Chains A and B, each alone.
Chain A
Amino acid sequence: MSPSPPLLQVQGLSVRYGSVLALDGLDLEVQAGELVALLGANGAGKSTTLRAISRLVPASAGGLFWGGRPLLPLRTEQTVKLGISHCPEGRRVLSRQTVAVNLELGAWLRHDRAGVSEDLDRCYTLFPRLAERRRQLAGNLSGGEQQMLAIARSLMARPTLLLLDEPSLGLAPRLVEEVMGTLADLHRSGLTLLLVEQNAEAALAIADRGLVLEAGRVVLRGSAADLRRDSGLRASYLGS
């Protein structure tokens, strides 16, 4: 009997932007229920990996599989339908819509009204600040509040896998802790996460496993505990 395929499998994936080779034969697996941290310096290819998974950029070589099914032929909208929710780099809230409308649009593909309003309540419980500002335009929120809104909006799709691109970027240390705590809670409740971070320490504190990218290749992978102890990683990414 063959073991069941991983939830997400990336095989030898390459992505080009014109003459720039952003991903160079990337291999990566995420098992259901895992929290995997994807680390690396600026320009290493972290965001490109997430963009390839949600089919925003075409692959020039390699394969992508969702529970064994090929993802490459799908369009972005279809990956959302499968259960992949991508919270993009830089928040990207819909600034001319209210907080509530942003959240409702997060549930665009869902038709279970009861479930959607349940999840809306859950988001407001998770991020009470959003509840206070639900009638405000998203563009008028502070950076940290926009980040929370972006995460909450991704959760409104009730995803199986959440792709997060630098949720801690630009947040005050106390807020980083808060956001990471929320992600750890989501992980404990059974959500699978692929977390892109430059803040390696914060990400590895809550992750099961981690990978380090450099110039589009994986240069280091291991359990979060091992990576935290790794002196090379500490030297290049933790600044100590």
Chain B
Amino acid sequence: MDVLLQILVNGLSVGAVYALFALGYTLVFSVLGVINFAHGALFTLGAYLTYLGVGGAVGSNGALAGWALPLALPFPVALLLAGVGCAGANLLVEAVAFRPLRRRHAEPLLYLITSLGAGVVLVNLLQIAFGAEGYALPADALGDLPPMLTLAGARLRSVQLLLLLVCAAVMTVLTLWLERSRGGRALQAVSEDATTARLLGIDSDAMVRLSFALSGLLAGLSGGLVGLSVSIAGPYFGIVYGLKGLGVLVLGGLGSVPGALLGGLVVGLAEAAVPGDLSGLKDAVAFAFLFAILLLRPQGLLGRAPITKV
């Protein structure tokens, strides 16, 4: 029983991160019908920005060696600022890698190259600035919270709980905003039929920018949280998450917000169910699981039949 609960807790907290990831992809995908492959790099940026925000210093290999902010911000503030920074960075990615192609009505495949390129540049800039070494956020970043909690027999790190809570909060707010607010409905209108949305007076370019900003914010927040949870392995540590987020996106059903959530949790649980002595096989299990589900349901768990974009 305790074992099952432990798997559930571990799976949910990892799955929450994947879900945030997939949600970031989904926001852009639903509006533009293309995937922003720079998302993983923004996640990495979010982790480094959070590290700097809480007062961490740059290691000896980076161009900025020894540099640190003159003050150390509390973790929640640093995380939020990192999210905002990533929102800004994603707007830049949109302006550089997406808008010029959109103006020319380019093939969707071309966005793959330009956004991947933007991501690679971003990761390399991080490597130049910070060096290739790993960074760990200070253990006391969460202040007085005990590092471990015990919940009905399952052992839970405070970071995991925080991940779950932040993820749940972000998902709830985002879903409510999308479904209930005027702006959220306008974004959905652009997603369903951009031409008709323009005929209603909705500025679809503004909605595209909004979706990039929100998606960047999500990438930054999840980067900072994972950085705290498992430490930053180096400038490339976003790649595996990026790939899994993509898998989760496809699993949940492209463009579906609840699908992103469900897909994230399913993959997280699948991974957590892999016994400790086989932990090297985690990624293989996760992707095999994905593969199997997609054979049965190619449109994803909650996916709709594909819609044509104008």
Contacts and interface: CB of A to CB of B under 8 A. Distances in A.
Interface of A: 54, 56, 75-77, 80-81, 85-86, 88, 92, 94-97, 101, 104-106, 108-109, 153, 157
A56 B200 CA distance: 12
B104 interface: no
Contacts of A85: 199
Nearest to A86: B199
Interface string B183-216: 0011011001101111111110000000000000
A80 B193 contact: no
Contacts of B203: 77
Contacts of B202: 77, 105, 108
Given A77-B202, A92-B196, A105-B200, 11 more contacts: A56-B199, A75-B198, A80-B200, A85-B199, A88-B195, A92-B195, A94-B193, A95-B192, A97-B188, A101-B185, A105-B197
Residue in B182, B189, B196, B200 whose Cβ sees the most chain A Cβ within 10 Å: B200
Interface size class of B (residues with CB under 8 A): 10 to 19
A104 B192 CA distance: 16
Contacts of A106: 200
Contacts of B200: 80, 105-106, 108, 153, 157
Nearest to B202: A108
A108 B201 contact: yes
A81 B201 contact: yes
Contacts of A97: 185, 188-189, 192
Given A56-B195, A104-B182, A96 B201 contact: no
Contacts of A95: 192
B274 to A, nearest CB: 38
Contacts, number: 54
Contacts of B198: 56, 75-77
Contact of B186 (A54, A56, A80, A105): A105
Given A94-B193, A104-B182, A54 B199 contact: yes
Contacts of A86: 199
Contacts of A104: 182, 185
Nearest to B195: A56
B186 A94 contact: no
A46 to B, nearest CB: 16
A105 B182 CA distance: 8
Residue in A77, A101, A104, A157 whose Cβ sees the most chain B Cβ within 10 Å: A77
A108 B199 contact: no
Contact of B189 (A75, A77, A105): A105
B199 A76 contact: yes
B208 to A, nearest CB: 13
A66 to B, nearest CB: 15
21 contacts: A54-B199, A56-B195, A75-B198, A76-B198, A76-B199, A77-B202, A77-B203, A80-B200, A81-B201, A88-B199, A94-B189, A94-B192, A96-B188, A97-B185, A97-B189, A97-B192, A101-B185, A105-B186, A108-B201, A157-B200, A157-B201
A85 B193 CA distance: 17
The 4 closest A-B pairs by CB, nearest first: A80-B201, A109-B201, A76-B198, A92-B196
Contacts of A76: 198-199
A92 B193 contact: yes
Nearest to A56: B195
